[in-house]
Amino acid sequence: MASILYFIGLGSNLGAREQTIRRAISMLEKRVGKLIGEAPFVYSPAVGFVSEHEFCNTVALYESALQPMDVLAIAQDIEQQLGREKHEVRMLHGVREYTDRTIDIDLLKAYADGVELTINTPLLTLPHPQMDKRDFVQQPLKALIAKIIEQSVIPFTKMHGLGNDYIYFDCIKSVLPQVLLPVVAEYAPRLCDRHKGIGADGLVFILSDNEADYRMRIFNADGSEAEMCGNASRCVALYLKKHRYLPETDSLRLATGSGVRHIDIRDMEHIAVDMGKPVYKGTQTIGARTYHLVDVGNPHAVTILADNEPLTRDLVHTIGPQVEHYQLFPNRTNVEFCVVIDRHHVAMRVWERGSGETMACGTGATATAVACIEAGMCDSPVEVALLGGILTIEQDNHTARMIGSATEVFEGWLK
């Protein structure tokens, strides 16, 4: 396992609070791992009693090779080293004396290879069960992440597959881009904004993996996570090849939210992605239209237009969001509108779940080809013409393969 990112909360309402917390942060760095950053101190009133001292809280982020239970043991040992103090509090019904730890250290969140660690034992629960309910934790946590993004150099690469563009973060070279994960729902819309941000259909994190060669996590422009993206898969393959992560091969096993995908890099214009076995789930009437339901690791609803019906933006932008949120799809769905040109050619536009209309969609093109073949209107291979270009979909023994290009646009750094 690669390095683990630990978000650790520290708080004290006894004695020299700030000095004690700073000492604990330093002790953790010596024993846990590299200190990446710490949040400004946040003060909050004592809860449940009237006290002379407010609570002083902060959150620190460490990169460590240690496992969570080892970090917990170190935190508990530091709590003991820093000691206990006699504390007098004025309760509503009189004064009470007791001894309390000088500092409280909690493991809040932990990420390994882009995945949030979940642990539930009598000694440790991750993520911390009370974290979301405590503003004195949420406030410094978000401030810490914002501070790291502002003061650190977090590189990204902008790439697109036929105009379906994403912002790619290399988490193999550095764990730092993973600080975005706890706040991805906030930062994805901001970074993907085409007027005030970088502009993209979503974010992709390129990660190490224990079972495949590499792995990707993909988030839509609204911050929701997607299971799979064919265009992003080709771009990840291009990035890995260009940056010498695949020095001796032109093939790749890429783990995704919908399973491992095999990718062959024939050349930069012809990257073939094994899309697995699409599942055709029959048809469903929604409104006045018939939709072919196809699962390509993520859900799709494909409607085949009549020959005399134009494939327009108004159609996609009016009907697309209605079908995306239709009650039949509790997790929403991608929506494709297509016109069959002949038995090997289809024109298509797509409304992507969580992103709106995009220039291209690899899983959508695959689902469309499958739908047209199942409807008896096309034969493999099918060339699908999208706004951004053409994808070729091959189907053999119910296994689909998508072939298309990938393009790197530019590199940059978040500030």
pLDDT for residue 212 = 96
pLDDT for residue 44 = 83
Q: Name the pLDDT band for 1 (thresholds 50, 70, 90).
A: low
Whether residue 361 lies in the annotated active site: yes
Residue 50: is its pLDDT beyond 60? no
- CATH architecture assignment, domain 154-268+409-414: Roll (3.10)
Candidate list 229, 235, 372, 378, residue with the active-site label: 229
pLDDT for residue 320 = 98
Q: Name the pLDDT band for 96 (thresholds 50, 70, 90).
A: low
Residue 73: is its pLDDT beyond 80? yes
Residue 230: is its pLDDT beyond 70? yes
Residue 14: is its pLDDT beyond 80? no
Which class is domain 279-397? Answer: alpha beta
Q: Name the pLDDT band for 52 (thresholds 50, 70, 90).
A: low
pLDDT for residue 102 = 85
Closest to 365 measured CA to CA, from 268, 233, 259, 253: 233
Q: What is the mean pLDDT of residues 348-361?
A: 96
Q: Could you tell me whether strands 202-208 and 164-170 are parallel, antiparallel, or unpaired per DSSP bridges?
A: parallel
Query: What does the domain layout of the chain look like in residue ranges?
Result: 4-151, 154-268+409-414, 279-397
Q: What is the mean pLDDT of residues 299-313?
A: 95
Mean pLDDT of the chain: 93
pLDDT tens track for 259-269: 999 999 988 88
Dihedral of CA 374/378/383/388: which sign?
negative
* Cβ-Cβ contacts under 8 Å for 413 (sequence gap 6 or more): 153, 154, 155, 156
Whether residue 378 lies in the annotated active site: no
The alpha helices in 227-361, defined as continuous H runs, are 230-242, 313-324
pLDDT for residue 93 = 73
pLDDT for residue 49 = 46
- % of the chain residues with pLDDT over 70: 94
Residue 91: is its pLDDT beyond 80? no
CB of 24 closer than 8 Å to CB of 82: yes
Please name the helix (run of DSSP H) or strand (run of DSSP E) that holds residue 70, with its range, or none.
helix 68-82
Residues in the chain: 415
Which class is domain 4-151? Answer: alpha beta
pLDDT tens track for 97-136: 666 678 999 999 999 999 999 999 999 999 999 988 888 8
**Count of CB atoms within 10 A of residue 401's CB?**
19
**Count of CB atoms within 10 A of residue 325's CB?**
11
Do 154-268+409-414 and 4-151 have the same topology in CATH? no
pLDDT tens track for 194-225: 999 999 999 999 999 999 999 999 999 999 99
DSSP 258: T
Candidate list 171, 338, 361, 378, residue with the active-site label: 361
